[in-house]
């Protein structure tokens, strides 16, 4: 996440929880919830959801 969108991300909060919860929110909107879906995220799934909201990753070269 940080590599591709670092120039536009203001902050990332990691919030500890219990019960195996894993949730990803962006600007207050829930993008992924392991508890709601009953499964782990697939590789690249969350990055794809972020890409849909923020656009393609930014090339910093």
Which is more confident, 12 or 44?
Answer: 44
**Are residues 1 and 44 in contact, defined by beta-carbon separation less than 8 angstroms?**
no
Distance CA 59, CA 46 (A): 19
Is residue 48 within 8 A of residue 57, CB to CB? The reply is: no
CA distance 15 to 6: 20
pLDDT at 59: 75
Instruction: Name the CA dihedral angle for 39, 44, 48, 49, rounded to a multiple of 10 degrees.
Output: 30
Condensed to tens digits (0 to 9), the pLDDT of residues 18-51 reads 888 899 998 889 999 999 999 999 999 998 998 8
Give the confidence band of 61 by pLDDT, cuts at 50, 70, 90.
low
pLDDT at 55: 86
């Amino acid at each position: 996440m940080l590599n591709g969108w670092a120039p536009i991300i203001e902050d990332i909060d990691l919030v500890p929880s219990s019960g195996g919860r894993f949730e990803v929110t962006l600007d207050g909107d829930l993008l992924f919830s392991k508890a709601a879906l009953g499964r782990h995220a697939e590789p690249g799934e969350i990055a794809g959801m972020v890409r849909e909201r923020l656009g393609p990753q930014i090339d910093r070269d």
